[in-house]
Amino acid sequence: LQYTDANGDTQYSTVAEGHAIKGQWIQLSNTNYTIPADASNLQLYIETAETSNNFYVDEAIGAVAGTVIEGAGEGKTVIRGDLNFDGRIDGADLALERRGLIKGFTDNYAKLAADVNQDGDVTVADAVLIQSFLIGKIKEFPIETKPIDTVAMEQLFAGVTPATSFKKDGENNPLFTQRFGADPGWMEYNGRIYVYTTNDAFEYDSNGNMKENSYDVGTINCLSSSDLVNWTDHGAIPVAGRNGRTTNGAAKWASCSWAPDACHKTINGKEKFFLYFANNGSGIGVLTADSPTGPWTDPIGKELISRSTPNCGNITWLFDPGVYYDEETGKGYLAFGGGVPEGKSADPGTARIVELGSDMTSIVGTPTTLNPPYLFEDSSLIKINGTWVYSFCHNWSVPAGQKFNSADIGYMTATNPLGPYTYQGPVFRNTFAQGLDNNGNNHHSIIEFKGKYYVLYHTRQLEIRMGVNGGKGYNYRSPSISEATVNGTSITCTGSHTGVKQIESLNPYATVQAETMSNQSQGIAVNGLSDTTVTGTKGSWTKVSGVNFSNGAKTLTVKACSKSGAVIKVCTGGTNGDVVTYAEIKAGSTPEEITVPVVNSVSGNKDLYFVFSGDVTFDSWSFS
């Protein structure tokens, strides 16, 4: 049950839950459920808890408390070897095992319990294991995996040519290549950095020809990382409800979702997340959620900052929010604005900063005017060692003789978040001047993560390498990150395609989402929202870096499916490197877990490649 409580917050309450297996019906029932007294806007959901498996609903019945409805009953708890589900393993179960081997099993629950070694088949070996357990030869059932026919697998992949990537070996920028992403904003939470970007996507004219990016964007990309090299793609958040390319946008009034930034705050003992965005150049909106990946809702139903906001009516471009929540004072601040009025390139006066209300969805007082020299756009706000740092992009009319150039990122400092701010100099040169791009705007965020500082920025390098417009590009942008040097009030950063070094290893013994990647080939796509999956085609592949096999590996479990059946080859060192194992995916439309043995030992820190022999939907993986 989803409902709104007396404070106006969205709450969730479990009415009933159960565990079902493939091919079996269960009944979800609660004969004495009480709807919370302060609940309004009630909505019932029937959903899977952790997977995206398909299921069917036969009927839904509501009745007064105490009413018992006939139905399939609750799902059974499957214990290996307990075929009659009485909670113990005895001679009766052995008899049912032998009977099932001869005549078949009554249902899928019994068949699942009969597969005591979990190799996917019920054979005499399972009956022998039950007998050995009953006479005390073994105290628990082993888990068996079918041996892999490596010769057949090698022959299969002899006809598979690995696809190419748009990132070269040794490059960690851009962060991903399966989609574009501009104007990166950020938020640190629970040991992960979350990056939110404008979701650039190819546009075409009426003749089907690709055209210049018009920024007709209504969604916001969300990605995260704990090590700054392996990035998890959480999908594109639907934001702008009035954008024709967006479905179910949370902000029904908005036509665009540009230049996002985010923060989180504990309110009334509950962690809340806030995503700020620009509705083209006419206002700033805000969304809220109970998770960094959503789902996101619109708390106020309108712009947070508009042209009717005091001291904001004359801002040329009312966009590019930069937010920062100061945990020391418990206050949040929002910087925004940009544009160059005619004849005012040296001092446009179009930047503003304002304190946010305690709810983070309102403002306190009148926004204060900032006067960054040669301002163009792109506000970023952060507090470093007690000093407030406001950074921005210089415009394209900077004359010779300045200590900064056109489209450089400059920064200013202050002891008070609302100013006055003093200009310090450039922190990040224009991407063209650094050889990262062949032109285009510069948009950034200065961030802090695990004790170090970095600059997030975008370039057009991906579209250039894709050969868009003959390699000149149409201004479709991709996010990158580079480490910054902070010395007192001095902040400098140089961009590169190499990017940053991995700051911690990846744990292969926990479940790793397949959409966590350091690189990917052409043909890879990420689908869904929040809990996403990877799809690939014959020869396509994904890569994760710095996987710490300190405990070695015996088995690999993958969750995947393939409509026509396929194999995932897992290698170290490259797509044609040393094979760790193969996972054969049977034909089907729903991802299922498959456990296979490791065919070659692996240890130490390794880069892993997952290569597909055919069309695959890949959900997750883990080693044991």
Using the predicted structure, report yes or no on whether residue 52 has a pLDDT greater than 70: no
How many angstroms separate the Cα of 60 from the Cα of each of 15, 56, 368?
13, 12, 55
Same domain, 327 and 452: yes
117 and 71 in a common domain: no
Q: Residue 84 is encoded by which pair of tokens?
A: 């009659």
Q: Would you call 616 exposed, middle or buried from its count of C-beta atoms within 10 A (0-12, 13-18, 19+)?
A: buried
* pLDDT above 70 as % of the chain: 100
Do residues 541 and 516 make contact, with C-beta atoms less than 8 angstroms apart? no
602 — alpha (psi -120 to 50), left (phi > 0) or beta? beta
Residues 336-373 have pLDDT tens digits of 999 999 999 999 999 999 999 999 999 999 999 999 99
Domain count, the chain: 4
**pLDDT over 90 at 427, yes or no:** yes
CA nearest neighbour of 445 among 90, 188, 203: 188
* Residue 173 domain-assigned (yes or no): no
Select from 57, 75, 93 the last residue of a domain. Answer: 75
505 inside domain: no
Measured in whole angstroms, the distance separating CA 88 from the mean position of its chain's CA atoms is 43
pLDDT tens string 500-549? 999 999 999 999 999 999 999 999 999 999 999 999 999 999 999 999 99
**Can you say whether residue 550 is alpha, beta or left, with left for phi > 0 and alpha for psi between -120 and 50 degrees?**
alpha
User: 240 and 261 share a domain?
Assistant: yes
589: pLDDT strictly greater than 90? no
For residues 213 and 121, membership in a common domain is answered with no
Give yes or no: residues 192 and 139 share one domain. no
CATH number reported for the structural domain that contains residue 125 in this entry: 1.10.1330.10
- pLDDT for 108 beyond 90: no
Q: How confident is the model at residue 441 (pLDDT cuts 50, 70, 90)?
A: confident
CATH number at residue 276: 2.115.10.20
348 domain residue, yes or no: yes
Residue 289 lies in a domain: yes
pLDDT tens sequence across 252-309: 999 999 999 999 999 999 999 999 999 999 999 999 999 999 999 999 999 999 999 9
CATH number, domain containing residue 594: 2.60.120.260
In a domain, 156, yes or no: no
Is 533:591 a contact under the CB 8 Å cutoff?
A: yes
On whether residue 9 sits in a domain, the answer given is yes
Same domain (yes/no): 84, 68: no
Active site residues: 183, 377
- Residue 150 inside a domain? The answer is no
Q: Does a cis peptide bond (omega within 30 degrees of 0) precede residue 162?
A: no
Percent of the chain with pLDDT over 90: 87
Q: What is the pTM of this model?
A: 0.85
Note whether 60 and 90 are same-domain residues: no
Q: Please, are residues 531 and 222 in contact by the beta-carbon 8 Å criterion?
A: no
Q: Are residues 67 and 86 in the same domain?
A: no
Indicate if the pLDDT at residue 51 is higher than 80: no
| Domain that includes residue 191, residue range | 184-493
How would you write 494-516 as a 3-class SS string? CCCCCCCCCCCCECCCCCEECCE
Angle of helix 124-134 versus helix 91-103 axis, rounded to 10:
170
402 with 529, same domain? Answer: no
- Position 549 in a domain: yes
Q: Give the pLDDT confidence score for residue 120 in this predicted structure.
A: 80
Reported as a single tens digit per residue, the pLDDT across 386-411 is: 999 999 999 999 999 999 999 999 99
122 and 105 Cβ atoms separated by less than 8 Å = yes
pLDDT of residue 146: 79
**What local confidence, expressed as pLDDT, does residue 94 receive?**
96
Query: Cα Rg for the chain, rounded, in angstroms?
Result: 28
Quick one: how far is CA 232 from the chain centroid? Answer: 5
Least confident of 39-43, 283-287, 308-312: 39-43
206 band by pLDDT with thresholds 50, 70 and 90: very high
Q: Among residues 18, 50, 75, which one ends one of the domains?
A: 75
Q: Which of 75, 108, 123 is the last residue of a domain?
A: 75
Predicted local distance difference test score (pLDDT) of residue 50: 65
Is the same domain home to 463 and 557?
Answer: no
Are both 86 and 125 inside the same structural domain?
yes
Same-domain status, 9 and 107 = no
H-helix or E-strand spanning residue 413: strand 409-414
